[in-house]
Amino acid sequence: MLAVDGATFEVRRGTITGMIGPNGAGKSTVLALLAGALMCASGSIVFDGVDVTSRSAYARARLGLIRTFQASSEFPRLTVLENLLVASRSRRGDSVLRVLAGPRTWRRDEEADLDRARALLGRFELSGQEQEYAGNLSGGQKRLLEIARGLMAEPKLLLLDEPMAGVNPALIQRIEEHLAVLRDEGLTMLMVEHELGVVERLCEPTIVMAQGRVLSEGTMAELRANEAVLDAYLS
Amino acid sequence: MSSSVQFYMTTILVYLGVDIIACLGLNLQFGMTGLVNFSFIVFQAAGAYTAAVVTLGPSSGNGGFQRYVGGANWPFPLPILAAAVVGGLLALIIGLFGLRRLRADYQAMVLLVVSLIATTVANNASGLVNGANGLALVPKPLQSTFNLSPLGFQWVFALISLSVAALIYLLVRRITNSPLGRTLRAVRENEFAAIALGKNVAALRLRAFVIGGAIAAVSGALFVEFITAWSPASWLFTESFVYFAALIVGGAGNNLGAVVGAALVPVGFLEATRFIPQFGRPGLVDALQWIVVGLLVALFLWFWPQGVFPERKRRYPPSRLRPSEADSPAPDRAPEMSPGA
């Protein structure tokens, strides 16, 4: 039984790299390995020039490697606004000594975070739900919240695990538009996705995985003409 | 008001202060961070033993009928402070091996085992804290210093107990209203998402565990300074469940809920059962207490899981740069709690 086997690839800065493949190809496992949720038995992961293979998941996140999850992963009994505030890179307010010393030691960071969080909520049309418990949002709103929360963490690389899964077509278009704007702003993303139309419009290049290995890489037009890719999807 | 009534009232007030402190400590661990600390009573006991030992003096004194390690004659409030330090250190040691790399339900089992081991050691290691007989004749603080009458001491200690409870409340509130409190709640809600956002979940849990352990020890120290005795029978593992019941009834995650829960369960409810006339075989009413506490927990979890004072929604001031775009207010109902949340 293999859980991935040979997945060697690069994600270039400023691009959305797509990752597609049949079920069981190892795509989500690769994302989990990159994020540090799973540790590699062999091989290495280099992020922004730093070998992060042995680093824990939270340490990689602090370097800017931020992931979203395939299933909704909000903090349900925190408000929408708090879900974003938790993602702030500032950790001054997490220090026990600073907290005991009083709000003066963390208030300035908090005010800046509030401004950023509200700006993001406005961008993703969630301002009206600021005070709503995240667990009470609709599925599509939760998906938008997760992307906004990922951005709040100021990622250098955003790992998107099937962001369109289970989402209605109108919302797929909205998410796609947001991701296109982020790409144009220079954010680097790696997106695992089954919606091939979305991948074609957003991603370049696209990596095809099958049976734990990278099968091919290129534009969707190139991949459509690749016999090995077609065989992998049809077999 | 007669002296006997005053004695009873002040005793209740002391118990109230002690239980509020304990519930606030457990609320930080369980209510805010989601740590199911079934060994909570061990930290209260550690505080009680510490305060007793540094108040009693050397074990060779008092006729040498009690055997324990250490021994000093520290004046009040140093025994309380010593207890807090010991409680925090003990929580650090236990937390380092009991909280890391374990899923929440396994953590709970490990901590329950810690509680069982602790009472077994205390019962059998007679040179540690005098074994099953425990420690007695702990001098009452301030009584000789200020030449207090027995009733005077009752009132003074009730004031001390409630004052310390108020201080602990302010301390815990400072934590829960801070970014650290918000992060702890995020860890409680979804530790994997918290990790993915750069949070060192193990370290954050340990922080809550240590602070909660120190607070539990303070409650034990105050308790032993009042009742002047402490033995393993005072801190069986089931005592932790009384505090859990208090939080579930009062409202876990809400500091006011912890206060109300302390008043309702360990003080109000258990005290009220004293007035039930004994019936059936000896000890039946005491045994029924535990059954009713369990039923209380079950009923609240089924019908009122958020407790009398549910965890409140935090509100934040408007941004300076961009006013919030308020739409119609969302319903103020929290999502369904999963059992044990």
**pLDDT value at residue B220:** 97
Assess whether the previous peptide bond of B179 is cis (omega < 30° from 0): no
**pLDDT value at residue B84:** 97
If asked whether residues A156 and A207 sit together in one domain, one would say: yes
| CATH number of residue A197's parent domain | 3.40.50.300
- To which residue do tokens 């021994």 refer? B71
Q: CB pairs below 8 Å between A and B: how many?
A: 147
What the block records as the tokens of A169 is 């077509």
**pLDDT value at residue B104:** 80
If asked whether residues A95 and A152 sit together in one domain, one would say: no
Between B278 and A93, the higher pLDDT residue:
A93
Sort B50 into a burial class: Cβ within 10 Å, 0-12 / 13-18 / 19+: buried
What domain range includes position A36? 1-74+141-235
ipTM above 0.90, yes or no: yes
If asked whether residues A66 and A175 sit together in one domain, one would say: yes
CA distance A155 to chain B (A): 10
CA distance B176 to chain A (A): 9
**pLDDT value at residue B330:** 40
- List Cβ neighbours of B214 (8 Å cut-off, separation of 6 or more): B25, B43, B84, B85, B87, B88, B91
Nearest to B322 among A67, A111, A118 (CB): A118
| B189 in contact with A, Cβ within 8 Å | yes
Per CB-CB distance under 8 Å, the chain B contacts of A81 are: 316
Assess whether the previous peptide bond of A205 is cis (omega < 30° from 0): yes
If asked whether residues A122 and A205 sit together in one domain, one would say: no
- Asked if residues B140 and B161 have their Cβ atoms less than 8 Å apart, the reply is no
Per CB-CB distance under 8 Å, the chain A contacts of B330 are: 128-129, 131-133, 136
Over the range A16-30, which residues count as b (16 or more CB within 10 Å of their CB) and which as e? bbbbbbeeebbbbbb
| B101 in contact with A, Cβ within 8 Å | no
Choose from B92, B173, B183, B190 for mutation: most chain A CBs within 10 A. B190
**pLDDT value at residue B127:** 84
- Asked if A89 lies within 8 A of B198 by C-beta distance, the reply is yes
**pLDDT value at residue A136:** 96
The residue of chain B with its CA nearest to that of A60 is B198
- Percent pLDDT > 90 in chain B is 59
If asked whether residues A118 and A147 sit together in one domain, one would say: no
Query: Quick one: CA dihedral A66, A31, A50, A8, positive or negative?
Result: negative
- Asked if A74 lies within 8 A of B193 by C-beta distance, the reply is yes
Q: Is the pLDDT at B335 greater than 80, yes or no?
A: no
What the block records as the tokens of B278 is 């004994």
Residue of A16, A46, A60 lying closest to A191 (CA atoms): A16
CA distance B51 to chain A (A): 25
Structurally, how many domains does chain A consist of? 2
If asked whether residues A165 and A233 sit together in one domain, one would say: yes
| B172 in contact with A, Cβ within 8 Å | no
Domain boundary among A90, A111, A136: A136
Per CB-CB distance under 8 Å, the chain A contacts of B33 are: none
If asked whether residues A152 and A39 sit together in one domain, one would say: yes
If asked whether residues A172 and A223 sit together in one domain, one would say: yes
Low-confidence ranges of chain A (pLDDT < 50): none
If asked whether residues A130 and A172 sit together in one domain, one would say: no
Domain boundary among A136, A156, A174: A136
Per CB-CB distance under 8 Å, the chain B contacts of A37 are: 192, 195-196
- Tell me which H or E stretch contains A81: helix A80-86
If asked whether residues A59 and A102 sit together in one domain, one would say: no
If asked whether residues A60 and A102 sit together in one domain, one would say: no
Per CB-CB distance under 8 Å, the chain B contacts of A31 are: none
pTM of the predicted model as reported, rounded to 2 decimal places = 0.90
CA distance A220 to chain B (A): 30
If asked whether residues A223 and A146 sit together in one domain, one would say: yes
Domain boundary among A136, A154, A170: A136
Per CB-CB distance under 8 Å, the chain B contacts of A149 are: 197
Q: Which residues pair with A218 in a beta bridge?
A: A206
